[in-house]
Structure 1
């Protein structure tokens, strides 16, 4: 029925007829239905009556249709209006446009607007508001230009709508021009417009102008304060958002529920539970605990700040429970790895939505509990039909974690049947599933089917697939193609450099390094570590050292890359010097660091120092030695002939030696004639592999010669 009013109005306006008299009986009947919340019945009675009602009742009915988003009833009402009133007053047609806008029916709104015989400022504002409310900022700006060309003067409502649209479009220049017009027309004292200007500058990320505009507002209200807190938060300045919130309290302005939510989110962003608890105190003091928005934000703040018991305390208050806060706590426990407690809470939930199910499923996948995650997926599908793109992404993660390519293809079929293929999040999850399951052919086919929907994540998934399989040339070719569609991200370079390091491709590593510098990318610590790895594996230590020294701040990642790089080039002394630098800078080593320095000790032949490092792992740094650390120590003892120390070390190991370890021990004992340990190693090797074509044995003659 698009253009319903426009069509009828155009046909009727040409016929002049006397103004009909509203029916009092009909008005009374309609009013009775409205008192019992029977809007649909009231409109049906009016539509079937063949009689008109008063202008004021038409206006009231349009407002009720707008608030209820009752589009069918709105069309019936509008049809009745233009049928009985050949020249309806402009204000009623404006209410009809507003109603269509709030119902999301822009075609009917614009059709009616275009066919109006005369318009006033309210008509333009109604249409501008319809575009703004429905997320069409570009059309709002175009209509505003038409309004100016028509010679219609804009008022405060006009500027508020247009400012909102210019901000959505990030049109800083337009916002500044509107600011100038507002000043010129003398609207500066209007707090709504001034707050809109604060919002517009903030959305364009010009926080200095936004704050200057805010400070110039003479009569700030709760909305003004909410805007500035929100803008600082979105701009990434959570600290200033919290400061402004407390300043608002000192000005004795009562915050809105969304202001509380924004301030609490800023505390979450800053991991500042102390400030969050202060805000909690204010919430209690002014009795805002019953607000669902505030309670959900408060719960989420405690969860994200790691104070799960405080969040649980909120849930333990019966009057304060709702599905939002309950889901936040389940998510907090799940993300923290406390899966059992999360599941217990989940099972206790009186009602659940798709977000609740997703939160629990995300906990299983985050903890790599793939079997439990799969069981949970089956339970979810039995219990509820609710599913969204997040659910599908998580299910595809489970398929990848279990390498269940068959199930992944079944999910692909579900995605296709239910029109989720156009969703970029789902498409990328599907691509990642095929990659992680090792099915690069299906990944490549799906990647090309994505066509115009591809983004950086899509390209990075393909590059990672090639890199992990050592297909460096394909990765570099894809990188060249990627630049035609999207700008590479830092993750792209990390993946490509890792691929170059794996195959010791110096030339390609240099090309990527040059590309990063030439295109002014910031070389973060991970990328810098990858560059060090490329150059060290390609025996270009001079370049690696230069990259290492250019780092503005050191961390364990780049130090590990440098230590292992020196070890790869058998420069153990320099590796130990880097470890000394780490201690000086206060950088805590990890298990990779100790693997590197033990290798350095192997190259330097420093058994005593290696033993000190090995013992300090557990005693000083709380790091449990892993298989590679034991292998280094055995390699060290064997290479330099410390046979008694080797035997003592093997006897103290918390697990049985692996076959490679036993072979090292056996070979060294055979060469050195160390009988007891050699025979023990031979027996263990023979037990581990009784069907081998030959058996390990140390001859007595060899021992006698020792």
Structure 2
């Protein structure tokens, strides 16, 4: 049988041979030690006394044990109290329970609670609070229910503690019952209880009830306002969060630093620069600019809204820059893709933590600067031994970017040895690394080792790996397995449909399309683009056009997919008709669109129309023609036999024609008998590619003399 520390102490007390001593002198000695900050010596003097001391002294000592979290001295106090006082007052035993709770010794607290000959409401409150403070919310709620069955009337402290527990475990129904009881016992107007109800309803995501409760508070405190601003932010309603912040200002309440922070985060989430600048003005007005929480939030807000200079200005105004502010401005530059400035700031930082290292490494990976990222990883290894799951994910991304599977395997070994294998983010990054490096067997083995830890991201990573390496059949087969374990995400369908198009698996593609329709998945722009591309590759342009025309809105990417799909099927005339509709809808073509238009002109042998569209690129849309556009025009003139136009076009290009272009020109000259131009093309070709010379041997028999 386990023996508690309190029982041992009681037995020791009963066996000690004490010398009688004057209680007044004992009390003076204890107070002298306390005045000098010597709690342990004070309790030792009390512990040696063979008689109980004044109850007020016990209460004072229990409070000191609570504040200092000194469990040993708290146990000594309780043992002395219950050993030498025949009927210890309930309020003192309640103080002992509170001390045990604050010292995180719930077994001692519950043992004392259960052994108390009588308990009052304070006893229950102390035990409930102890459970709540130490993360045992379910036990606190069970004890509250038992308290009500015993007929004990809860007080305000009980209600607030229990509501806090409901918020942690998201017990919306239970919190409604507690709310009703609080009204029954006359606490409905209490601002602390009202704020707690706003908090718990907000945490449970029921903002309608949270807002109604907030509106019923007659005089909301700063804490009340902070709660409602934060809860709107957490449910993703940044707009309402900011509106409540400004309502708070209009009502004359002074925001807390965290209220500012929450409102600024809400502005960041919406890229609401104007509102953020207005909040900045309030910050300056009430002199909160030097607050570390507020200043960091201001920096992050300006960064997220694309105003790095303003973020740097806030940083420069700080009198003393701490690690948080340094990390905020450095990561701001890294997030914005300005890695050179970010690295300069990183090098200037007087101290760094793991968040700083991760932010800089993330900046390199975001821009695919793999060599710089690798060099930075080596620096990290030489400088610090700290590493977390975020660092490992970033390192695995670098391995994938460099296609360095050997380094990835070393990281895998580190993950295994240091217990990171169960972290889903690390596991998925490892799976992604093996897939991108083309080691599909290792990817599949690791996927099976993940077992029950897999999620939708895991399936998507493996499916994408198969599809990326032309293993469309395996990807489609894996999709069938996936349905037994996880609901597919919308992103997986894009990968699968693309795989079907690449292997011309029309039936599988139609089945996946039908599955999405039956399961009520939204056919967003990406999925519609994948379906259009798949049907076009499988020569089902009618289906592709139906999907295209059913879209509520069409961006230029979807238009381009449809244009190229029709060109792939030799339907150039329909492309030229669609371009008119595109202009009517106000969608501005890009260089890809014009490439498709020129391919359509080639299909239809429309040399004049092609020339007009080519000129329109730079004249009307300010798009500089690229190599592929020049190649299309050469192909178009060659096919149509427009040799004069071809010669004029080639010789007026802003760059020298490539070997491939000259070869196509030469072939056209051979076909259409353009001797002089053909000889010129052969001469230019042979100068660029002497190892494979061309020779024009046909005689010109045309009236043009070319």
The 3 A distance-change label for structure 1 pair 253 and 697 is: same
The 3 A distance-change label for structure 1 pair 686 and 121 is: farther
Q: Counterpart in 1 of 2:333?
A: 333
The 3 A distance-change label for structure 1 pair 211 and 363 is: same
**Number of aligned pairs?**
693
Structure 1 counterpart SS, 2:698: helix
Q: Counterpart in 2 of 1:531?
A: 531
The 3 A distance-change label for structure 1 pair 701 and 473 is: closer
Bigger drift between 666-675 and 93-102 goes to: 93-102
TM-score, L = length of structure 1: 0.89
In structure 2, distance between residues paired with 1:628 and 1:110: 79
Asked if 2 retains the 8 angstrom alpha-carbon contact of 1:493 and 1:527, the reply is yes
Deviations along 1:379-400, whole A, 9 cap, x unmatched?
1222222222111111111111
In structure 1, distance between residues paired with 2:3 and 2:239: 50
Q: Counterpart in 1 of 2:255?
A: 255
Q: Counterpart in 2 of 1:508?
A: 508
Deviation (angstroms), 1:79 = 4.1
In structure 1, distance between residues paired with 2:329 and 2:154: 49
Deviation (angstroms), 1:153 = 2.3
Structure 1 counterpart SS, 2:484: helix
The 3 A distance-change label for structure 1 pair 75 and 454 is: farther
Deviations along 1:597-620, whole A, 9 cap, x unmatched?
222222232333333433444554
The 3 A distance-change label for structure 1 pair 699 and 261 is: same
Structure 2 counterpart SS, 1:187: coil
Q: Counterpart in 2 of 1:38?
A: none
Asked if 2 retains the 8 angstrom alpha-carbon contact of 1:591 and 1:623, the reply is yes
Deviations along 1:532-572, whole A, 9 cap, x unmatched?
22222222233222222222222223222222222222222
Deviations along 1:583-632, whole A, 9 cap, x unmatched?
33333333333332222222232333333433444554454444433333
Which of 692, 697, 700 is equivalent to 1:700? 697
In structure 1, distance between residues paired with 2:675 and 2:105: 91
Q: Counterpart in 1 of 2:366?
A: 366
**Structure whose alpha-carbon radius of gyration is higher:** 2
Bigger drift between 444-453 and 555-564 goes to: 555-564
In structure 1, distance between residues paired with 2:687 and 2:115: 94
Q: Counterpart in 1 of 2:34?
A: 31
Alignment of 1:43-54 (within 5 A): 43=40, 46=43, 50-51=47-48
Q: Counterpart in 2 of 1:239?
A: 239
Asked if 2 retains the 8 angstrom alpha-carbon contact of 1:58 and 1:77, the reply is no
Q: Counterpart in 1 of 2:434?
A: 434
In structure 2, distance between residues paired with 1:326 and 1:572: 57
The 3 A distance-change label for structure 1 pair 199 and 681 is: farther
Q: Counterpart in 1 of 2:308?
A: 308
Bigger drift between 527-536 and 570-579 goes to: 570-579
Bigger drift between 533-542 and 251-260 goes to: 533-542
Q: Counterpart in 2 of 1:230?
A: 230
Deviations along 1:327-363, whole A, 9 cap, x unmatched?
2221221222222111112222122111111111111
Which of 72, 79, 86 is equivalent to 1:82? 79
The 3 A distance-change label for structure 1 pair 502 and 6 is: farther
Asked if 2 retains the 8 angstrom alpha-carbon contact of 1:5 and 1:79, the reply is no
Structure 2 counterpart SS, 1:236: coil
Unpaired runs of 5+ residues, structure 1, are: 35-40
Bigger drift between 372-381 and 635-644 goes to: 635-644
TM-score, L = length of structure 2: 0.89
Deviation (angstroms), 1:371 = 0.7
Q: In the alignment, does 2:448 pair up with 1:451?
A: no
Q: Counterpart in 2 of 1:287?
A: 287
Asked if 1 retains the 8 angstrom alpha-carbon contact of 2:440 and 2:465, the reply is yes
In structure 2, distance between residues paired with 1:445 and 1:393: 19
Asked if 2 retains the 8 angstrom alpha-carbon contact of 1:137 and 1:168, the reply is yes
The 3 A distance-change label for structure 1 pair 341 and 148 is: same
Q: Counterpart in 1 of 2:165?
A: 165
The 3 A distance-change label for structure 1 pair 635 and 345 is: same
In structure 1, distance between residues paired with 2:566 and 2:123: 75
Deviation (angstroms), 1:305 = 0.7
Q: Counterpart in 2 of 1:490?
A: 490
Asked if 2 retains the 8 angstrom alpha-carbon contact of 1:399 and 1:405, the reply is yes
Deviation (angstroms), 1:216 = 1.4
Deviations along 1:469-512, whole A, 9 cap, x unmatched?
22223222322222333222111111111212222222222222
In structure 1, distance between residues paired with 2:171 and 2:327: 38
Asked if 1 retains the 8 angstrom alpha-carbon contact of 2:679 and 2:696, the reply is no
Deviation (angstroms), 1:440 = 1.2
Alignment of 1:115-126 (within 5 A): 115-126=115-126
Asked if 1 retains the 8 angstrom alpha-carbon contact of 2:62 and 2:77, the reply is no
Asked if 2 retains the 8 angstrom alpha-carbon contact of 1:562 and 1:578, the reply is no
Bigger drift between 192-201 and 239-248 goes to: 192-201
Q: Counterpart in 1 of 2:576?
A: 576
Alignment of 1:452-471 (within 5 A): 452-471=452-471
Deviations along 1:184-228, whole A, 9 cap, x unmatched?
222211112212222222223222222222111112111111121
Q: Counterpart in 2 of 1:548?
A: 548
The 3 A distance-change label for structure 1 pair 106 and 419 is: farther
Deviations along 1:104-158, whole A, 9 cap, x unmatched?
5555554554555544333333343344344444443333333333333222222
Deviations along 1:60-99, whole A, 9 cap, x unmatched?
555555556x4xx324432453255336554455445445
Asked if 1 retains the 8 angstrom alpha-carbon contact of 2:670 and 2:698, the reply is no
Deviation (angstroms), 1:662 = 4.6
Q: Counterpart in 1 of 2:479?
A: 479
Q: Counterpart in 2 of 1:413?
A: 413
Unpaired runs of 5+ residues, structure 2, are: none
The 3 A distance-change label for structure 1 pair 585 and 184 is: farther
Structure 2 counterpart SS, 1:252: coil
CA RMSD of aligned residues (A): 3.3
Q: Counterpart in 2 of 1:37?
A: none
Deviations along 1:459-478, whole A, 9 cap, x unmatched?
11011111112222322232
Q: Counterpart in 2 of 1:213?
A: 213
In structure 2, distance between residues paired with 1:674 and 1:2: 106
Bigger drift between 250-259 and 25-34 goes to: 25-34
Deviations along 1:369-422, whole A, 9 cap, x unmatched?
111111111112222222221111111111111111111111112212222112
Deviation (angstroms), 1:654 = 5.5
Deviation (angstroms), 1:687 = 6.9
Bigger drift between 58-67 and 473-482 goes to: 58-67
Which of 27, 39, 42 is equivalent to 1:42? 39
In structure 2, distance between residues paired with 1:46 and 1:144: 33
Structure 2 counterpart SS, 1:365: helix
Bigger drift between 441-450 and 678-687 goes to: 678-687
